[in-house]
A and B are shown apart, each in its own frame.
Chain A
């Protein structure tokens, strides 16, 4: 991988993705056996929004590679509370760490911050923008369950504001994939993502409901429809209810369908599915560690003592 930063999935070529997934497979066999990779490396975790999985898996990955983390902590306890700019925070933290993982509520925050630092910076979510490290673990999970070529995937839920959806859609244009997007009219893909998919010549179709397309899917990627996107509770309940899946829904699906979700879920996937062989979302979450180990390994070596 020849990049200083990971800001969007758009910057990833097929070769980049395959390099990360191959390295992740090496690490997945025995994550505890690689503490000699980056002894003493320090990763700064700057999360301006709450996170459980992303933050903990980056922390785990850094420690598994022999490194450690420094954590900015909650915004309420930091200089941000005093009005410090992100640009200043980034420049200060750059002096402490060998790499930065940034989550921020503003779209484009990671790109802007990257312009102020020389250490590798990973976008761990910028508002409704991108979340490329999630995409790498999504791709790893898809590859393990269905393969990345000759794939039919359905992506359902909040496609407008869902950053994991935007990054995944971009990355899948590198492969032979038929992408189906299922959402209410008001939550369809934003114009910028449609533009990129069109430019990439992607095979894309949009649907209002899952029924028509479910039988042909290899993967169903479900995302959460957030309450705050709707003017009132009644409208939210009505729409969200149409995009929930349960055991009955899956009756029309292929036996091999992999159901994925970036988590956290609220009630868009019925827990009765959890024990089924279709449920892939916890495996997906666990894959965050080897995939982020691979990402950090490649970025830190690129930025430092290249192999």
Chain B
């Protein structure tokens, strides 16, 4: 880890979340998963296509005043499987998390199959089983491998 890298990850954040080692170009999808579009007033810093020793290039997302929930971390693993998450409190890294693929993600993706019961106005949250490659709707069994971010329900 270079000094510049460390500085980018944790500097100038008092309380919040730093998501590092995001694949280059995915930072905006990370924000979409977090439901951050700027309207909530959080301070957001993005580093896109930052040089990385291990990844060549990577993105970094820093969000002030917000700690990610487990469900948010879960779905993050689908687009940024090697991401690391640092929860920062009072300028210090309070928790450091490596993302693990969950067995299932609930409520965060919508099913691309328009004939799926989850798209029929029923009082049910979507659930997707996580496969080695892609995800699978627990209701209609449709497998999504490409462009998972197109199906974010957030």
Tell me whether B122 and A87 are in contact (CB under 8 A). Answer: yes
Complex interface: stretch among A18-26, A53-61, A100-108: A100-108
| Candidates B117, B121, B136; contact of A107 at CB < 8 Å | B117
CB distance from B34 to the nearest CB of A (A): 28
Residues from chain B with a CB closer than 8 A to the CB of A107 are: 113, 115-117, 139-142
Given contacts A111-B138, A127-B115, contact A106 B120 (CB under 8 A): yes
Tell me whether B122 and A129 are in contact (CB under 8 A). Answer: no
Tell me whether B115 and A112 are in contact (CB under 8 A). Answer: no
Tell me whether A108 and B141 are in contact (CB under 8 A). Answer: yes
User: Is B123 on the interface with A (CB-CB < 8 A)?
Assistant: yes
Separation of A86 and B141 alpha carbons in the complex (Å): 19
Separation of A171 and B142 alpha carbons in the complex (Å): 19
Given contacts A86-B117, A87-B124, A112-B117, contact A192 B138 (CB under 8 A): no
Tell me whether A106 and B143 are in contact (CB under 8 A). Answer: no
Tell me whether B142 and A192 are in contact (CB under 8 A). Answer: yes
CB distance from A12 to the nearest CB of B (A): 16
CB distance from A103 to the nearest CB of B (A): 13
Residues from chain B with a CB closer than 8 A to the CB of A127 are: 115, 140
User: Which residue of B is nearest A110, CB measured?
Assistant: B117
User: Is B118 on the interface with A (CB-CB < 8 A)?
Assistant: yes
Tell me whether A86 and B120 are in contact (CB under 8 A). Answer: yes
Separation of A29 and B113 alpha carbons in the complex (Å): 44
Separation of A92 and B141 alpha carbons in the complex (Å): 27
Contact indicator per residue, chain A 121-143, by CB within 8 Å of chain B (1) or not (0): 00000111100000000000000
Separation of A231 and B80 alpha carbons in the complex (Å): 40
Residues from chain A with a CB closer than 8 A to the CB of B122 are: 85-87, 112
Tell me whether A85 and B118 are in contact (CB under 8 A). Answer: no
Contact indicator per residue, chain B 123-137, by CB within 8 Å of chain A (1) or not (0): 110000001000011
CB distance from B104 to the nearest CB of A (A): 14
Count of chain B residues with a beta carbon within 8 Å of a chain A beta carbon: 20
Residues from chain B with a CB closer than 8 A to the CB of A230 are: none
Most A C-beta atoms less than 10 A away, residue of B115, B116, B117, B122: B117
User: Is A109 on the interface with B (CB-CB < 8 A)?
Assistant: yes
Tell me whether A128 and B115 are in contact (CB under 8 A). Answer: yes
Tell me whether B143 and A87 are in contact (CB under 8 A). Answer: no
Separation of A104 and B120 alpha carbons in the complex (Å): 11
Most A C-beta atoms less than 10 A away, residue of B118, B136, B141: B141
Separation of A112 and B123 alpha carbons in the complex (Å): 10
CB distance from A124 to the nearest CB of B (A): 15
Most A C-beta atoms less than 10 A away, residue of B123, B124, B137, B142: B124
Separation of A66 and B121 alpha carbons in the complex (Å): 38
Tell me whether B140 and A129 are in contact (CB under 8 A). Answer: yes
Separation of A108 and B121 alpha carbons in the complex (Å): 13
Given contacts A108-B139, A108-B141, A191-B143, contact A85 B123 (CB under 8 A): yes
Separation of A152 and B116 alpha carbons in the complex (Å): 33
Tell me whether B140 and A108 are in contact (CB under 8 A). Answer: yes
A107-B140, A129-B141 given; 15 more Cβ-contact pairs under 8 Å:
A85-B121, A106-B120, A107-B117, A107-B139, A107-B141, A108-B137, A108-B139, A108-B140, A111-B139, A112-B118, A112-B122, A126-B117, A127-B140, A129-B140, A192-B136
- 6 closest Cβ contacts across the A-B interface? A108-B139, A107-B140, A108-B140, A106-B117, A108-B117, A192-B141
What are 26 A-B residue pairs whose CB atoms fall within 8 Å in the complex?
A85-B121, A86-B120, A105-B115, A106-B115, A106-B117, A106-B119, A107-B115, A107-B116, A107-B139, A107-B140, A108-B138, A108-B141, A111-B117, A111-B138, A111-B139, A112-B118, A112-B122, A112-B139, A126-B117, A127-B115, A128-B115, A129-B140, A191-B142, A192-B136, A192-B141, A192-B143
